[in-house]
A and B are shown apart, each in its own frame.
Chain A
Amino acid sequence: MRSYWAVVSARFRMLLQYRAAAVAGFGTQLFWGLIRIMIFEAFYRSTTASQPMTLPEVVDYIWLGQATFVMTLPYYLDLEILTMVRSGTVVYELLRPLDLYSLWFSRSVASRAAPTLLRALPMFVAAGLFLGLRPPASVASGAGWLLALLGALMLSCAISTILSVSLLWTIAGEGLVQILGSAGMILSGIVIPLPLFPDWAQTALNILPFRGLLDTPARIYSGNILPGEALPLFAHQMAWTLAFVALGRLLLARGTRRLVAQGG
């Protein structure tokens, strides 16, 4: 059973590193952003009808997405936890009189905040100076964006922590991580800005948690969502964050009992 898991997770980790490495390069991101912008430019030039977002807003959206991409990748797992679960040493963690959930959550925060900062700054400089990223629509928008960013960080960590917890359930956990990861990406807006999806999909997109990762902050920034309208969206982020945290704690408790009962 353990060797099965070992090989499965080795491949899983390979896939992860593969993906992360391919996407994580700064040059790659610039290139990526550029291609996407060109594609959107072409689309916008094909029609004169008005759209839920203007092209400059789309450009902002894309660059903000690239700058903070670490947050929108819920499957950017904590590899240390993964190795711990794989090797079985996670049992020791579970038996300690610590609040394990908080430990893992804060780990997640740390592993996202640092790279985001490191990547966001050069991205802002490059995209801001040469590639069409505008400053925030207003001071209030800028402040709102920062708050939304914080909310996105919390939400992102809540999701990634619950995914880490689900690893305790080998196959099912891995499947969940994969599927939620892929789905979460698209539904956050990093592939296509959410407002550009069909109108009939908007309700669903607005309810789902993932929009809080990128869509909410990016649109506040560019003024597509006015500062006055932002409050319910903060609540949306917070509500989902709390939901994931609660579910995460529950799952962790259950997973702990299960693992300890199995004897590691």
Chain B
Amino acid sequence: MREGIRLYLRYISISARGQMQYPASFILLTISGLLATGGEFLGIWALLHRFGSLKGWTLPEVALFYGIVQIAFSISDATSRGFDAFAAMLKRGDFDRVLLRPRSSALQLAGQELTMRRIGRFSQALAVLLWSASALGAIWSPAKVGLVVASILGGACLFFGLIVLQATLAFWTTESLEIVNTVTYGGVETAQFPLTIYRPWFRRFFTAVIPLAFISYFPALAILGRPAPPVLPWIAPLAGLLFLLLALRIWQFGVRQYCSTGS
């Protein structure tokens, strides 16, 4: 396990170094990412500024949702490129090479790239989160801070799991996998607002099928001191981790299928 982590760190340090060889490009792309995501939040701010509140939720509260989800997504977006580009790798026939190495295929794909420029989105979302934290004032405790971190990590696991599922689909269909993109990007759009504003069937989908509610809504209830079922908000981020583990299990199944049917 520790050895796997060491290999992973080596992989991503190589990837990061490679990208930093082109500093100007990196800076530009990062700034652009920052602006793009900053602009999105600007829109949210503008709406709240005009409408006053969103079904009873204030701007700092919405910003909490936004910050958690966007940071989680930027982490997974930065680390999941190997899986994201897997369909192309499969088509080129390069996956056999991965299998010829005495390591798990998931580890190798995870280590393929650390997309450094996602730090644009990351820092913008972090800024929003920090602002929200200060705007929310005296509600914080070490436990709640821990819950925010757990939610972020759980969210990163969940989004990563979605990309793994998208990659697994590539074993069976060569068609565009936009469906998963829809759920991923759509999920980010959705979860950056409190779930109560959506129609019931929507809420149910993002609670039961894709457990987004568990890494944003339920923890936020506890953090913001709103009525919530006991215990649940504090262990909810685990749902993200469980989702990822399930996705990896399905991935292993996909790899086995690939080995028995050939390319």
Q: Which of B32, B56, B198 contacts A181 (CB 8 A)?
A: B32
Name the prevailing secondary structure of the A interface residues. Answer: helix
Is the CB–CB distance between B28 and A174 below 8 Å? Answer: yes
Given A45-B55, A47-B51, A171-B25, check contact A31 B182 (CB 8 Å). yes
User: In the complex, what residues of B have CB within 8 A of residue A23's CB?
Assistant: 185
* A198-B56 contact given A28-B181, A42-B197, CB 8 Å threshold: no
Q: In chain A, what residue has the closest Cβ to B22?
A: A8
Interface: A262 (CB within 8 A):
no
A interface residues, tally (CB under 8 Å): 44
Tell whether A47 pairs with B52 under 8 Å between CB atoms, given A27-B182, A178-B32, A192-B46: yes
Greatest chain B CB density within 10 A among A8, A38, A46 is at A46
Contact of A198 with B50 in the complex, beta carbons under 8 Å? yes
B53 close to chain A: CB less than 8 A? yes
Of the stretches A125-133, A183-191, A235-243, the one at the interface is: A183-191
Chain A residues closer than 8 Å to B53, beta-carbon distance: 46-47
B190 within 8 A of A: yes
| A92: Cβ under 8 A from any B Cβ | no
The answer, among B39, B51, B182, B197, for a CB contact under 8 Å with A182, is B39
A152 CA / B121 CA spacing, docked (Å): 30
How many B residues touch the partner, as a band? 35 or more
CB closest residue in chain A, given B28: A175
- B54, B56, B178, B197: the one within 8 Å of A28 (CB): B178
In-complex Cβ contact of A46 among B43, B49, B51 (8 A): B51
On whether the beta carbons of B55 and A46 are closer than 8 Å, the reply is: yes
Which residues 214-239 of B have a CB within 8 angstroms of A? none
Decide: A32 near B25, CB < 8 A? Known: A46-B51, A196-B47: no
Complex Cα distance, B76 from A197, in Å, reads: 31
Contacting pair B182 A43 (CB below 8 A): no
Residues in A188-205 with C-beta less than 8 Å from chain B: 191-192, 196-198, 201
- Closest 8 pairs between A and B when the two form their complex, measured CB to CB: A25-B178, A42-B197, A178-B32, A192-B43, A182-B36, A186-B39, A28-B182, A175-B28
Task: Give the B-binding residues of A (Cβ under 8 A).
Answer: 4, 7-8, 11-12, 15, 21-25, 27-28, 31-32, 35-36, 38-39, 41-47, 49, 51, 171, 174-175, 178-179, 181-183, 185-186, 191-192, 196-198, 201
